[in-house]
Amino acid sequence: MAMIEERPIGFGRLKRKEDPRFIRGQGTYVDDVTLPGMLHGAVLRSPLAHARIVSIDASAALAHPKVRGVITGKDLEAQKLAWMPTMSYDTQAVLATDKVRFQGQEVAFVIADDRYAARDALELIDVEYEPLPAVVNARKALDADAPVIRDDKDGQTDNHIFDWEAGDKAETDAVFARADVVVSRDIIYPRCHPAPLETCGAVADYDRVSGHLTLWTTSQAPHAHRTVYALVAGLPEHKIRVISPDIGGGFGNKVPIYPGYVCAIVASIVTGKPVKWMEDRSENLTSTGFARDYVMHGGIAATRDGKILAVRTDVIADHGAFNATAQPTKYPAGFFSIFTGSYDLEAAYCAVHGVYTNKAPGGVAYRCSFRVTEAAYLIERMVDALALELGTDPAELRLKNFIRPEQFPYENKTGWTYDSGDYETAMRKAMEIAGYDELRREQAEKRAKGELMGIGLSFFTETVGAGPRKHMDILGLGMADGADLRVHPTGKAVLGISVQTQGQGHETTFAQIVAEELGIPPEDIEVVHGDTDRTPFGLGTYGSRSTPVSGAAAAVVARKVRDQARLIAAGMLEASPDDLEWEKGRFSVKGDPEQGKTIQEIAMAAHGAADLPEGIEGALEAQTVYNPPNLTFPFGAYICVVDIDPGTAQVKVRRFIAVDDCGVRINPMIVEGQIHGGLAEGVGIALMELIAFDEQGNCLGGSFMDYLIPTALEVPEWELGETVTPSPHHPIGAKGVGESPNVGSPPAIVNAVIDALYEPYGVSHIDMPMTPARVWAAMQGRPEPPQ
């Protein structure tokens, strides 16, 4: 990996513009916001997973000398604010009124002079609960005798949320019926958690005189949040300003609106003071948007000689106590139907059944690309299961079944149009970096000595960059994104974007996009984001959509400015606009390159005293909204090498090779950083991360002592490679990469562990996380699913 900085005017390796403030500890996170007279809030949470609230007595808390108030569900009910809409057209309790429905649910909100008093006062609130049986296991949620969790909803008589399907069931079943080989597996993608290092929080500042609400908040989608607050709280949207300052990691955890944010707003309205609420680590892990929790039954059908014909799956999706996932409205299971993966199939069918359980709400998060994580995991485990059944090398099986380059754009069997791809080249590149044949020889030698080494592959195709607005919306808001660009007289520029960085480096990457189009150096371009008063409307950063959607908007708006610049330059050079040639940063007269004007000279002229050509009003600026014509389809080939200690059963990831194709790379250094982080998360998910519950619904993963995330000592030195297959419909050919490594790495790691254990121990599947205890149990012939 080249570490040399290129200082490009445009695409290339460029140090991040945001890093100097982070490295010096000068970032401004929500918890750094301090306002005069600010009060502090804390949330009282339910200790029980399912219980009726008999009474709440806050008198002792109110007697605390530093407590200014206590808000309960009853108080909110009077204002019709006890329930709020979720991004899946369900409702969620802001503060519980009738029942608590998961351990950690919000019950009351204390407002105090400082956060210590607020926290202490929680223990002074006396809540009497009448415990109810809890639904913990999603597989039992639809049993006839299961307690009904959402009895608040009219007509809801069970725990069913939705049934959703894609593909052709009859056709798929017919292919399965005539196939030589059919392999089935029960595969769980267990509940894990994005666990951003910065937890969620907000500072709400309501001005009683002007009626303005300013909300500093940990949001990946400030514009969408503003609209939802306007709808929920009845505040006029033009008087709401949502500011998402520096954000310490999001990973989808900061897409939903949490009750704590709403409570902070209500508390500020009630007290007339700014109110800060920051959750602690346990609150983040136990109550905010978790990820996955898919119980999948997968099938794969093939010919005896290894041509994959069809895949099908039936899924139970655990959405917790409220259906609060954020995904395009028509896709309640997200983009899970991309589970056909990278293979040319005759048929495919999936059915997903969403259910309520007495667990925290969520499911769509953790760099999942709207459930592509689950889809890629299923197909890549199923292909390996087929390879075991056929006795075929898993690399050969994949190479035999890939969609071929000439088949793009490729219509898959569940309705997606893959934009571009060259899968075999990426796969062979990964195998070359890995030294695949040599690894297989090494494995055979080690196996003869009783050592356990495994080589695992995965090849994923994602669908990201949602999305075309006629198909994709969240709460009716089309998934387009805006950009506006102003070039100042001296040639410095300000780009406003609707997406929001949580660490992805937007301030650098988006400046480079404009630099590439206009030839203005990136350091001369300020990227403004995360403030609804200063940026155009758009749906925000998640689902790897910043570059595919907002990045396209940035390129388009820069081209609009360049078109204006051409007209102005033509006037300055007394030439026809058509007679001008553009080289990065300068228009010149065709055939007379000495006669030219730089973008900076043009900018000054645009603001100058001289006459401007027809069609130019003055200034050099433009705005746009980008409505993507299709999604983009990044892909990658990953190879993992593990060693397993035969004594302790501990899995060590020795090598990890990742060849990613995300189309054109704007800043390869940032892309590689994204991949490093996502691969580390994949190691965590595969080996250690689990939000477990006991039978009563108590969360067992509520701290970093129990919810383990990997450190630098648990991950290898990443070996990266790339191929570049541009997206044909994206203005700069980019596809998005933020989620690829998290999508692609868990199946490679699990496949490697099975590859190590199948021959000596007959182990054909282990569910994640593959903890030493569970790997050992599998080696004893007793594989156990996660709790």
Partner 1 sequence: MIPPEFDYVAPESLDDALRALDEGGEDAKLLAGGHSLLPLMKLRLAAPSLLVDLRRVPGLRGIQRENGTWRIGAMTRHADLQTRDELGLLAEAAGLIADQQVRNRGTIGGSLAHGDPASDLPGVLLAAEGSVTVRGPGGVREIAAGDLFQDYLTTSIGPDEVLTEVRIPAFDGWAHGYEKFSRRAEDWAMVGVSALVRAAADGTCEDVRIGLTNMASTPLRATAAEEALRGQPLDAEHIARAAGLAGEGTDPPGDLNATPEYKRHLARVLSRRALQRAAGAAS
Burial of residue 311, with CB atoms counted within 10 A of its CB: 0-12 exposed, 13-18 middle, 19 or more buried: buried
Nearest alpha-carbon partner for 604 in 520, 490, 521:
490
> What's the rounded Cα separation, in Å, for the pair 638 and 636?
6
Query: Of these, 64, 241, 281, 297, which contacts partner 1 (CB under 8 A)?
Result: 281
Reading the block at residue 248, the tokens are 């310490």
- State the catalytic residue, choosing from 192, 368, 662, 699: 368
Contact criterion met (CB below 8 Å) for 348 and 314:
no
Reading the block at residue 412, the tokens are 């898959």
Measured from the CB atom, the residue of 47 and 733 that comes closer to partner 1 is 47
Report if residue 280 touches partner 1, rule: CB under 8 A: yes
The distance of closest approach from Cβ of residue 706 to partner 1 in the complex, given in angstroms and rounded to an integer, is 6
Report if residue 647 touches partner 1, rule: CB under 8 A: yes
Measured from the CB atom, the residue of 276 and 529 that comes closer to partner 1 is 276
Q: Half-sphere exposure of residue 750, counting CA atoms within 13 Å on the CB side?
A: 32
Handedness of CA 353, 357, 360, 361 (dihedral sign): positive
The distance of closest approach from Cβ of residue 139 to partner 1 in the complex, given in angstroms and rounded to an integer, is 20
In what helix (H) or strand (E) does residue 136 lie, and over which residues does it extend? none
Query: Of these, 623, 650, 698, 764, which contacts partner 1 (CB under 8 A)?
Result: 650
Measured from the CB atom, the residue of 368 and 779 that comes closer to partner 1 is 779
The distance of closest approach from Cβ of residue 687 to partner 1 in the complex, given in angstroms and rounded to an integer, is 9
The distance of closest approach from Cβ of residue 74 to partner 1 in the complex, given in angstroms and rounded to an integer, is 27
Give yes or no: 443 in active site.
Answer: no
* Contact set for partner 1, span 318-377 (CB under 8 A): none
Give yes or no: 220 in active site.
Answer: yes
The distance of closest approach from Cβ of residue 46 to partner 1 in the complex, given in angstroms and rounded to an integer, is 16
Give yes or no: 368 in active site.
Answer: yes
Report if residue 696 touches partner 1, rule: CB under 8 A: no
Interface region with partner 1, contact rule CB under 8 A, candidates 286-294, 336-344, 348-356, 643-651:
643-651
Buried residues in 652-679 as b, exposed as e (16+ CB within 10 A): ebebbbbbbbbbbbbbbbbbbebbbbbb
Measured from the CB atom, the residue of 627 and 650 that comes closer to partner 1 is 650
Give yes or no: 739 in active site.
Answer: yes
Strand, helix or coil for residue 350: strand
Contact criterion met (CB below 8 Å) for 368 and 334:
yes
- State the catalytic residue, choosing from 101, 367, 562, 774: 367
Reading the block at residue 376, the tokens are 């890629």
Query: Of these, 86, 282, 463, 498, which contacts partner 1 (CB under 8 A)?
Result: 282
Reading the block at residue 241, the tokens are 């300003």
The distance of closest approach from Cβ of residue 110 to partner 1 in the complex, given in angstroms and rounded to an integer, is 13
The distance of closest approach from Cβ of residue 780 to partner 1 in the complex, given in angstroms and rounded to an integer, is 9
Contacts of residue 426, Cβ cutoff 8 Å, sequence gap at least 6: 459, 635, 636, 637, 659, 661, 723
In what helix (H) or strand (E) does residue 79 lie, and over which residues does it extend? none
* Contact set for partner 1, span 704-723 (CB under 8 A): 705-706, 708, 710-711, 713-714
> What's the rounded Cα separation, in Å, for the pair 147 and 144?
9
Buried residues in 748-759 as b, exposed as e (16+ CB within 10 A): bbbbbbbbbbee
Nearest alpha-carbon partner for 363 in 392, 389, 385, 331:
331
Measured from the CB atom, the residue of 180 and 694 that comes closer to partner 1 is 694
Report if residue 66 touches partner 1, rule: CB under 8 A: no
Report if residue 688 touches partner 1, rule: CB under 8 A: yes
User: What would the x/- binding string for partner 1 be over residues 108 to 147, using CB under 8 A?
Assistant: -------xx--xx--x------------------------
Nearest alpha-carbon partner for 714 in 786, 637, 771:
771
Contact criterion met (CB below 8 Å) for 556 and 626:
yes
> What's the rounded Cα separation, in Å, for the pair 373 and 740?
9
Query: Of these, 23, 60, 197, 773, which contacts partner 1 (CB under 8 A)?
Result: 773
List residues binding partner 1 (CB under 8 A).
115-116, 119-120, 123, 280-282, 647-648, 650, 688, 690, 692, 700-701, 703, 705-706, 708, 710-711, 713-714, 771-773, 776-777, 787
Catalytic site residues? 220, 367-368, 739
